[in-house]
Amino acid sequence: MKLSVRKFWNSKTEPVRVVIVGAGFGGLSAARQLEKHPHVEVTIVDRTNHHLFQPLLYQVATGGLNPAEIASPVRTLFKNSARTTVVLGSLTGLEFDKRRAVLDNGRETLTYDYLILAMGGRTSYFGHPEWERYAPGLKTLEDANRIREQVLLSFEKAERARDPESRRRHMTVAVVGGGPTGVEMAGALAELRRHVLRREFKNIKPEDARVILIEGGPRLLSGFPEKLSEKASKELAELGVEVLYNERLEDIGDGFLRTSRRTIETENIVWAAGVGGHPLSHLVGSETDRAGRVKIDHDLRVPGQDCVFCVGDMMTLDGAKGKPLPGVAPVAIQQGKLAAKNIIRLTKSKATRSFSYFDKGSMATIGRSSAVAVMPGGLTLSGWTAWLGWLAIHLTFIVDLQNRILVMMRWAWAYLGWRWNVRLITAPLEHEIETVPSDKSRLTNHRPLALAVAKNKF
Ligand SMILES: Cc1cc2nc3c(=O)[nH]c(=O)nc-3n(C[C@H](O)[C@H](O)[C@H](O)COP(=O)(O)OP(=O)(O)OC[C@H]3O[C@@H](n4cnc5c(N)ncnc54)[C@H](O)[C@@H]3O)c2cc1C
């Protein structure tokens, strides 16, 4: 491995300045590792003020959890860390020659001795960014809120609709992508309409709503063993989810989705099909893969940049079997830790270490009391035991105690009687939009309402 080009630290000189961009799993784990070292000063920059627990976003999107219960203020996480500074800001540029990270279009620059880029990825629409307007992805709290509002509002519109066609469109939800996120979303939506919304409406039967899961390949959960894919599809069928296989998506537009085999009329499309690299990957100036992830060296440094590390969803690196590492939290956490350790090694003029991923297995939940899991060593679990494991692991990974307790209590409460009560619709209603047309900021966030007005759908 490369040796450091410059020894930055000895006890009589300045502390080593490390800037970490991104307070996701990778950035937090690096910061936690570095705060143990008295000669290091860390600045952690994020464009949001919270660390987001993305694996539970689908529960926010389906009314099971409050947004704040999966988001922990970064400042609170580091309030007891004397040498860690938190900055709310957005990285917009990199000046490698001056060792500076540029924030907020040049309003501020941070000088570093070492930089860790941990900015995650983004939802990818396979070259069709125009689909995003009709099919929100699930990556941020805004996405989850948007989906929740869109789905709940659709049921409200169906309740008032006089035209059966319109009612049908509002009572159809299509989820695109049969990976873990798509399976979890479809399962939760099926439960929402069958167990939670049931008996709450007078003119419609929410339990009759169609939930369709569209997968481009021949099976769900392609990263899991085949028998778990079969289990998942059986469990989803029991929940009444219609799973379509080998359906190549051709178009998504206002109120419809077209695959190679059919057109589905629906006002609710959720995109769970693709994740790509960060939109600012090009700033790194290094080669990227087809999805836009930065190709990095085995010690997690950006090729040609001795002081710049890149970890988590933002990067691509081949694992032990020559296959790219998966975009999952344990990869980001383990890489964040190693990047921090390698920085410490460099400050001591020691050789860096290569990343070796310890695969802790994979899990996906399908519904209440049902999940599939592959454990380390290849052992597979399904049903109740896998679900209990899923609950325990997700609780452990939530980074702050308060949210851990709140989520546990909400799950227990929901378990006792299908109480998913986080069902806020805060979008303005149509007549409000009509009377306050200048309120553009609210309009843009709530496409379904705005479009419904335009098409006079009620
Ligand atoms: C819906 C969903 C479900 C998932 N479920 C699972 C699961 O069950 N198990 C699992 O292991 N993994 C799961 N994942 C994947 C896992 O969440 C990611 O692999 C992990 O979050 C990657 O961590 P990261 O630190 O690389 O990036 P992130 O956690 O995405 O963090 C990136 C951070 O960078 C910040 N940022 C971005 N751009 C900038 C900028 N320009 N300036 C400043 N800050 C910036 C963001 O605000 C964010 O806080 C899921 C992902 C999603 C979207």
The mean pLDDT value of the chain amounts to 91
Q: What is the pLDDT of residue 72?
A: 96
Asked about 184 being catalytic, the answer comes back as yes
Distance between CA atoms of residues 88 and 47, nearest Å: 6
**54 Cβ inside 6 Å of ligand 1:** yes
Q: What is the pLDDT of residue 4?
A: 43
Cα-based distances in Å from 6 to 94, 284, 335, 345, 399: 20, 21, 23, 12, 35
Q: What is the pLDDT of residue 64?
A: 94
The set of residues, in sequence order, having a beta carbon less than 8 Å from that of 189 and lying 6+ positions away, is: 62, 151, 173, 175, 211, 270
Whole-number Å distance, alpha carbon 47 to ligand 1 midpoint, is 13
Nearest CA owner, ligand 1 atom 26 = 312
Cβ atoms < 10 Å from Cβ of 14? 11
Sign of the torsion angle spanned by Cα atoms 246, 251, 252, 254: negative
Atom of ligand 1 nearest to the CA of 272: 1
Q: What is the pLDDT of residue 364?
A: 95
**23 Cβ inside 6 Å of ligand 1:** yes
**120 Cβ inside 6 Å of ligand 1:** yes
Mean pLDDT, range 319-331, rounded to an integer: 92
| Confidence category of residue 1, pLDDT binned at 50, 70, 90 | very low
Q: Which of 336, 326, 388, 338 is nearest to 362 (CA)?
A: 326
The pTM score is 0.91
Contact at 8 Å (CB) between 91 and 21? yes
pLDDT at 450 over 50: no
- pLDDT, tens digit, 9 for 90 and up, residues 8-47: 455 557 899 999 999 999 999 999 999 999 999 999 999 9
Tokens found for residue 67? 């947004």
Tokens found for residue 200? 């709450």
- pLDDT, tens digit, 9 for 90 and up, residues 390-447: 999 999 999 899 999 999 999 999 888 888 888 888 877 766 655 544 444 444 444 4
- pLDDT, tens digit, 9 for 90 and up, residues 245-292: 999 999 999 999 999 999 999 999 999 998 899 999 999 999 999 999
Cα-based distances in Å from 232 to 221, 362, 364: 8, 14, 9
Q: Which residue has the higher pLDDT, 133 or 454?
A: 133
**25 Cβ inside 6 Å of ligand 1:** yes
- pLDDT, tens digit, 9 for 90 and up, residues 330-383: 999 999 999 999 999 999 999 999 999 999 899 999 998 999 999 988 899 999
Distance between CA atoms of residues 159 and 204, nearest Å: 6
Pocket probe for ligand 1: among 48, 94, 119, 175, the residue whose CB has the most ligand atoms within 8 Å is 119
Nearest CA owner, ligand 1 atom 31 = 24
Whole-number Å distance, alpha carbon 112 to ligand 1 midpoint, is 23
Atom of ligand 1 nearest to the CA of 331: 19
pLDDT at 182 over 80: yes
Q: What is the pLDDT of residue 330?
A: 96
| Confidence category of residue 57, pLDDT binned at 50, 70, 90 | very high
- pLDDT, tens digit, 9 for 90 and up, residues 219-246: 999 999 999 999 999 999 999 999 999 9
Whole-number Å distance, alpha carbon 329 to ligand 1 midpoint, is 7
Distance between CA atoms of residues 185 and 271, nearest Å: 10
Nearest CA owner, ligand 1 atom 50 = 55
**67 Cβ inside 6 Å of ligand 1:** no
Q: What is the pLDDT of residue 421?
A: 85
Catalytic choice (69, 184, 215, 267): 184
- pLDDT, tens digit, 9 for 90 and up, residues 91-122: 999 999 999 999 999 999 999 999 999 999 99
Q: What is the pLDDT of residue 12?
A: 53
